[in-house]
Structures are given as C-alpha cells and as structure tokens.
Structure 1
C-alpha cells in the first residue's frame, strides 16, 4: 500500500539557510527513483541539484521557479510504494475508503513527532532509510459523493496556478494530484491566495509561456503575462514581448476627459533583487568595507621577460602554461616571504591568525555575477598544475556548477582585472582575507631599459591589504618582490 512522504529542502551546508528554485526536474505524476535529482536550486554559493531520498510517484510540488524557500520548507510529496503502478495517478491513490494512504499536512509534519524526514545534504546522497509514519488525512470539505478529479484535470489546474503566480500573485504550493491543495493550515488555496484567484477569474487556461526565464523576467518587473499578446508560434509569449511591454508607456488607470490630452507616463525605475550569488557578493563586500581598514599600494613593472619566459615554456611542448598560473606561482612565493598577508583577523578575540597553507582565490566573471573560486594548496602546485586547476574552476563557474567547498576557504585572492582592458584598480578585500593582488592589462609602453628608452610590455600591479595585519613596509616589500619576479622570472629559481 502506498504511503505519501514529504521531502523538505535539506541542509545545504556552509551556513546556507535558503535557496531559490531555478528549475523543476520532475512533474506531478512522475515516477522518481531513490536519490534522483528532482529540482535545481541556486544558493548564495552555487547552483546545485537536490536529490530526493524517496522512490515513488510525485504527488505534489511546493514553490514555483524563481521562488526562494528556507531550509526545512516542503519541496515535494512522494507516494512511496505506488511506483509499481507506473501509470497510476495520485487521484487513484487518494480515493475514498479507510485503506487509502494518508496525505501529509503541516499539522502532522510539524507537531509532536521528531522523526527524520529523510532529508539529505546536497551532493552526498542518502543515508539509512528514514523512519516513516502515517499521517491523519483531514476530513474532506466536499461531499463524499463528489468524484475525484482526473490526473489531467489536476495537472491543468497546476499549470493554471503556475501561470497566475507568474503574473504577480503570491506564491502557493502546486496543486497535488488528488485535486486538494496541500496548504499548511488545511485551508483551500483559493482562500489563501485571493489575489491569484482574482487575477485569473476572467481568464481560463494557462499563459502561453514555455521559458522559465520569461516568467522570471515578468515577475521581477511586475509585468502581467495575461495582458500580453505573444509574437511566437501559436501566440507563445517570448522574452521580446516582455521587454517590449517594459519599454511601452504605461496606460492610465482611469480614462481622461475626451477634451484633455493624456498625461505623459512617468519612467518606471528598474528593481533588481539582491539575492543568490549577487546578493551573497553584496553582503560580503559590504562587510569587508565595514570591518576592514584597507590600504592600497601599486607599482608598474616591465613584464617583457615574463612574457618571453612563458612563450619559451609553451614552445617546449606539453600542456600550455597560462599567465595567471605564473602570477599565482609568484604570489605563493611572495606569501612565503611575507606570511603576514596570508592571514585573517578575529575581531572579537583581537588576534591575527596566520594561516599555514595558501588557498588562492581568483576572481571570475560569469553570467550570474562575480564569483571567487579557490585553488586549494596553491603553494604546493606547479605552474602546470595551477593552469589545469584554473581552467577547471573557470569552466565550472561559467556552468554554475561550483560546489560550496570550491567557493570558500580562500586565504588570499588574485584579481586579474586586466582582462577587462583596464590598467589599475583598488579592489575591496575578499572578507575575511587580509589582502588581494590586482593585475592590470599588459600593454606596450615606452620604458627606460638598460639606460635607453625602449618599448616594453608594462603591467600595473596593486596590492590592497588589511592595515591591521601589517604596516606599509611589509605590504611594499611583498609588492616589490612580486614586481621583481615579473621583471626577472629567474628570481623565482631561488624558491623552486
């Protein structure tokens, strides 16, 4: 006999307390296997797929794409033991009779029992099977003679609910396959979401939108999708339709007198939510600026010899060595000579903690914002190993596949802003680190070389440091050593 179990958003680790639903990987009525990913979520650290510890038939989903959920909030309910009836829908499993499986409600899941819900840590699979318990199904509000709706009807209502919420209504759980709303307090979805009901009262059927990105764009800018006419096939609403509505002048709510000219519409400010990766970056930068008394020093260096050395390495065969890897190798050698900059400050304890290993972060720009992947134990890596690890982490960052462990634990950051075509910068330190080395673009410039004016490959290096961990003399010594290695790579031979 099937038993309906509730799967909640699990602990995501690294102190994360919430996640945004990016994409559902299953629908109501789908059969799922144990540890099968059911939803893709974005946290402040990375984008991950969440596996479900139960196998069976999905009977309900909670939250729409773009919705933020706290850890512990319901994600889906699964009818365990119903998978063998692969074609069965949840309406069959919830039909009348005392032997029907119980449907979970919030009062049963939150009160009295302390049994495990089977939650898992993302990326680590499930442990032992979770203890399961039956729950008391609330009394039906409709007469017993009312026939249960079909799975197709339930699916249609679920799509209609998603459309209504996409156009600005409040978020509510997706309708379960047995036709009843899994509301936390047992009330109907219509009673909980009057705004949604009013918005959809005059329009039947779902909005013709396929892309979750289009729905998210409309939701963030307050565009009513039901008021748009799609320009795609069969009236499909495209991103261009939403953007066209954003730039169109607003229509006055009340009609002006026939003799009066309509007042011009005021421009509407764009509001961009600070959440996910961008929100996490904003919080960290604000904390860094608030807590760290930083200072910056910089120097120009002749990188001609470094560029020639790299060209000679790559001409010798084998894997190509990146310029970033050579700069990272120089950084680790400089930190060995100036360990004060590979540290962190514990404010409450009033202590400077000098760290034994160099975990080198590097800034990477992605479509989702700026992220700082971390190369662990960079001080023990060769230029070839550093090149490979930089390439791997950069690709993972672009795909949104970095794990929380790959985005935390850095002790020093290397920021190559020269890729943006700029010469210099005074970056904000990546809290709780103590320093960041910035590298500008390398371009031909007039330079005095061996007493004569010549055209050389010149780069500007800048060091932003926490003035609590060291004075300007230490910071200047670090930066001067880095510049010397850039100008004369043979200096590095002393540390190999």
Structure 2
C-alpha cells in the first residue's frame, strides 16, 4: 500500500522564518532516497540544500524557483510504501500513489526515517501526521489509473490562489492566515489590512508576494487619472527606474544594519600606524617554510591579544535586562564580500589559535562564503568583528557594528607613505586603523587604549611576545 507523505519546509535554525527557492533538484515523478537533497534554498543567512526525510516518488512540488515559502509550508509530497500488488513505489508499476488500505493484512506502511536532524522531523521514524491519497480515478484493466500530476503551486502569483479555502480572504472575526513576522511587519509599515487579502499560499496562507502585489495595486490606484477631462497631466516616472527587492542576504544585511544604528550608540576612533615591521615579520615567517601566514591572521592574533587586555569590548548589551554581557571566549567574525553580498563568517575560539590555524580557518570559511555553502551556525555567534576594507583600495572607514556585538576593528590598505622614522623622513608601509565601539560598554579611554595597543603591535610585533 502506497502512502503520500507531505514534507514541509523545515526550521533551518537560528530563528529563520522563511526561505527562497533557488533551484529544484528533483522533478515530479522522480524517485528520491532518504536524505537526498531535493531543493536548494536561500535563507537570510546562507544557501543550503534541503534533504528529504522520506524515500519514494515525488508527487508534487510547492513553490516555483524564485518564490519564498514560510517555515512549515508544504515543500513537496512523496509517495512511499508499496503498491496494491506489493511492488515498491517507483518501480514503474503505475500505481505509485494508490492509497487504498491493504485489505488482506491491514498493514500500515513503514516509512523509512531520515538520518538528518531537521527541526520538526524525527530521525528514526516518519511523522505521525500523514495524509492519505485515496484513488478517485476509475479502474482500468483491473488496476487504478495513475492520478493526474499535481500542478506546481507558485507562491509568486497571487491571482492563481485556490478557490477554497485559499481563495477567500480572512473572515472579519477570524485569525489572519500569516506565519511570517516579516509579512506582518511589511503590511503594518504600509498600513495594509491583511484581512482584506486573499492568500496564495497553502490553505490560504498570505505570503510576502501577496502583500507586495497588493501594495503595487494600491499604488496604481492612487495615481491621478490623466484620461479625465481637465485633469492635470501626471509626471511620467523615469523609464530607467529599477526596483530591487530587499530579500535574501541583502534584506538580512539591511535589517541588521538598521537595527545596529537604531539600538547602538556607536562612536569611532582611528589612528595611523607604521606597518613596516609587521610586513617584515610576516615575510620572515613565510621564508622559514611551512604554511604561508596571511596578514589577516596576524591582525586577528593582535585582536585577540588586545581583547584579553580590554575585555569590555568582547561583549554585548542585553537591552531588556539593562546588563552588559562579557564573553570569556573570542569568536572572531570577519567581513567577506561575495557575489551574493556581504557575509560575516565566524572563527570559533580565535583566542586559542595561532597564526597558522587562523590562516587556515580564514581560508576555509572564505571559500565556503564564495561558494555559498556557509551554514547559519557559521554566520552567527560572533563576539567581535575584524573588517579588512583595505582590500577595496580605501584607507579609512567608519563601519557599522555587527549587531549585537560591541565593537569592530577596521583595517585600511597598507601602502607606502612618507613617515618620520627615527627622526628621519622615510617611506614606510602605513595603515589606518579604526575602532567603532558601543559607547554603552566603555568610554573613550578604554576604546583608545585598545586601539593604541593594536597599533603598537602592528608597529612592533615583538610586543605580542608578552602574551604568547
């Protein structure tokens, strides 16, 4: 007996509420194995492949590529178990979705469990909630006719909403069918009544696309009608205007930076430093053999030494409790620019790593960032951020703190400049260092002391020997 199980978009962790379908990896009718990746989705933090916890035949997919689905919405359905004649689903028997009960034995199908841990799905047995598909088509030659393929539901076309129950707007006195808090916030910010919308998602669920469609329609209705007699001609919008949705990583970055500026009273101090000796030290290290040491790794080692002296900056602020939370471990984030936008991977326990280990970890996480394979866990949990914007060919910046951290060290390009060295004018390798800090966790004296120590280590790397 075959049974159709519904696989819903799982909770991918870190408080994510929705994901955008980037690419389907299976088609309707394909046979899938347990834990086989079936779709590639982009969350606000990373691009991930989602494995299916069931093995069988894909009978339906929900959502087109480019559409967004909330966590908990149906992703696809899979027919599992055996057909009426005892053959496994997907062997070409044509009865892959027969949901009739096996009258001889009355056995329930034993759906194989997934080994991957997905929030909302077990790892040893199928979920208790199952949906049976009972044959409604006539029997042909003693066998039930294969059902018509289920049409893919597109979350980005509100006009194509099902007639019932999804085709009706929410009742005036009932709950509003919205899962995503982002959808509620978008409607609230634009004064849109969600009860008047017809959701295009499963069971009438209102998606972001529905809200955006309604806002576009409202904007069109508000424009002056220039076809009426005596109406003033409206100024035509420039034909070159392009609107880019703030979603995915770009939207997550926008939300996080806005929150940082709204909540954190930040201040910035900076200093120029002579990095000539630091560059010579790196050259000597690399000339001695072994793995090459990166400049970023040396700067990270300097940061961890500075944070040991000034632990106030390795902290965050609990605004509700009105407490400063100081961390004993340094989880060092570093800004990485990718084709998909700015991401901040985190090097765990950076204070326990030497220059070689830091170099290797930076390289590994940077490669994962470029390939879009960073997990949400690798992008969260930082306590301090190192931002090397010198790679863009600029000297200085006043970066925005990576909320909820309390500080960020910015490093400009290292370039030859005239510099007074030992009383003489000379050409030296000079770098500008900047520290943006949360003024709630410390005052300027602490921030200045931290930055001055970093600059001293850059100018005289031997200073680090005191903490090694």
1:88 aligns with 2:60: no
Over the aligned positions, Cα root-mean-square deviation in angstroms equals: 3.7
Partner of 1:127: 123
**Aligned mate of 2:410, from 438, 448, 461:** 438
Q: Deviations over 1:339-394 (max 9, x none)?
A: 11111111111111111011100000001100000001101100000000000000
Partner of 2:322: 350
The 5-angstrom pairing of residues 29-48 of structure 1 reads 29-48=29-48
Partner of 2:70: 70
Deviation at 1:48, TM superposition (A): 1.0
SS in 1 for 2:72: coil
The 5-angstrom pairing of residues 226-265 of structure 1 reads none
CA gap of 1:267–1:293, structure 2 versus 1, over 3 A, is same
Deviation at 1:124, TM superposition (A): 11
1:283 aligns with 2:283: no
Q: Deviations over 1:53-100 (max 9, x none)?
A: 1111111110011111111100111111158343437x7345797879
1:297 aligns with 2:269: yes
1:4 aligns with 2:4: yes
Q: In the alignment, is the contact (CA less than 8 A) between 2:33 and 2:56 conserved in 1? A: yes
CA gap of 1:317–1:98, structure 2 versus 1, over 3 A, is closer
Deviation at 1:118, TM superposition (A): 8.2
Q: In the alignment, is the contact (CA less than 8 A) between 2:115 and 2:124 conserved in 1? A: no
Partner of 1:422: 394
**Aligned mate of 1:397, from 366, 369, 394:** 369
Flag the structure with higher helix content: 1
CA gap of 1:277–1:131, structure 2 versus 1, over 3 A, is closer
SS in 1 for 2:329: coil
CA gap of 1:413–1:346, structure 2 versus 1, over 3 A, is same
Q: In the alignment, is the contact (CA less than 8 A) between 2:97 and 2:133 conserved in 1? A: no
CA gap of 1:391–1:172, structure 2 versus 1, over 3 A, is farther
**Aligned mate of 1:468, from 440, 444, 458:** 440
Deviation at 1:272, TM superposition (A): 1.1
Deviation at 1:29, TM superposition (A): 0.6
SS in 1 for 2:58: strand
Distance in 2 (alpha carbons) for counterparts of 1:440 and 1:381: 24
**Aligned mate of 1:487, from 437, 453, 459:** 459
Deviation at 1:33, TM superposition (A): 1.0
Partner of 2:246: 274
Q: Deviations over 1:185-228 (max 9, x none)?
A: 498xxxxx9x9xxxxxxxxxxxxxxxxxxxxxxx99xxxxxxxx
CA gap of 1:454–1:184, structure 2 versus 1, over 3 A, is farther
TM-score normalised according to structure 1 size:
0.72
CA gap of 1:171–1:336, structure 2 versus 1, over 3 A, is farther
The 5-angstrom pairing of residues 56-455 of structure 1 reads 56-82=56-82, 84-88=88-92, 92-94=95-97, 121-122=117-118, 126-132=122-128, 135=131, 154=149, 169-170=157-158, 185=165, 266-455=238-427
Distance in 2 (alpha carbons) for counterparts of 1:410 and 1:391: 18
Distance in 2 (alpha carbons) for counterparts of 1:485 and 1:495: 11
Q: Structure 1: 5+ residue runs without aligned partners? A: 101-116, 174-180, 188-192, 196-218, 221-262
Q: In the alignment, is the contact (CA less than 8 A) between 2:41 and 2:47 conserved in 1? A: yes
Partner of 2:225: none
CA gap of 1:462–1:80, structure 2 versus 1, over 3 A, is same
CA gap of 1:171–1:25, structure 2 versus 1, over 3 A, is farther
SS in 2 for 1:326: helix
CA gap of 1:96–1:51, structure 2 versus 1, over 3 A, is closer
Distance in 2 (alpha carbons) for counterparts of 1:494 and 1:358: 19
Q: In the alignment, is the contact (CA less than 8 A) between 1:64 and 1:171 conserved in 2? A: no
SS in 2 for 1:459: strand
Distance in 2 (alpha carbons) for counterparts of 1:169 and 1:459: 52
Distance in 1 (alpha carbons) for counterparts of 2:303 and 2:250: 28
CA gap of 1:346–1:385, structure 2 versus 1, over 3 A, is same
Q: In the alignment, is the contact (CA less than 8 A) between 2:45 and 2:376 conserved in 1? A: yes
Q: In the alignment, is the contact (CA less than 8 A) between 2:2 and 2:98 conserved in 1? A: no
Distance in 2 (alpha carbons) for counterparts of 1:348 and 1:96: 53
Q: Structure 2: 5+ residue runs without aligned partners? A: 104-112, 168-197, 201-211, 214-234
